């Protein structure tokens, strides 16, 4: 089930009221390594999504000198599926 407003799956809850994680919704995952060995950008969308469509969640990772992840930030501070993968380097991440 999809929430049309932000293109995210509708939150389902178990009988105790806890959220049920929907791992199968985002079967498409893209990773951009940007001239290094560690992934810098990770994108999630529904299967069949175009990289030019505004239907992606985009995460940016930052590393320390030992290649440990020190931050994980979302495009425009939002994990909504409303970003364009092709434009990932132009977003501000927070």
| Tens of pLDDT, residues 20-73 | 555 545 578 999 997 778 899 999 999 899 999 999 999 999 999 988 899 999
Q: Which of 70, 41, 71 is nearest to 58 (CA)?
A: 41
Q: Which residue has tokens 């290649």? A: 67
Q: How far apart are CA 8 and CA 43, in angstroms?
A: 14
pLDDT of residue 25: 53
What is the value of pTM for the model shown? 0.72
Largest CA distance in the chain: 47
Q: How far apart are CA 57 and CA 12, in angstroms?
A: 19
Q: Which residue has tokens 């529904």? A: 46
């Amino acid at each position: 089930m999809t929430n049309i407003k932000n293109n995210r799956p509708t939150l389902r809850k178990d009988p105790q009221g806890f959220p049920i994680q929907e791992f199968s919704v985002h079967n498409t995952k893209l990773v951009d390594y940007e001239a290094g060995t560690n992934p810098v950008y990770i994108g999630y969308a529904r299967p069949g999504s175009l990289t030019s469509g505004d239907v992606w969640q985009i995460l940016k990772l930052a590393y320390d000198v030992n290649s440990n992840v020190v931050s994980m930030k979302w495009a425009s501070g939002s994990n909504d599926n409303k970003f364009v993968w092709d434009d990932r380097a132009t977003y501000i991440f927070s």
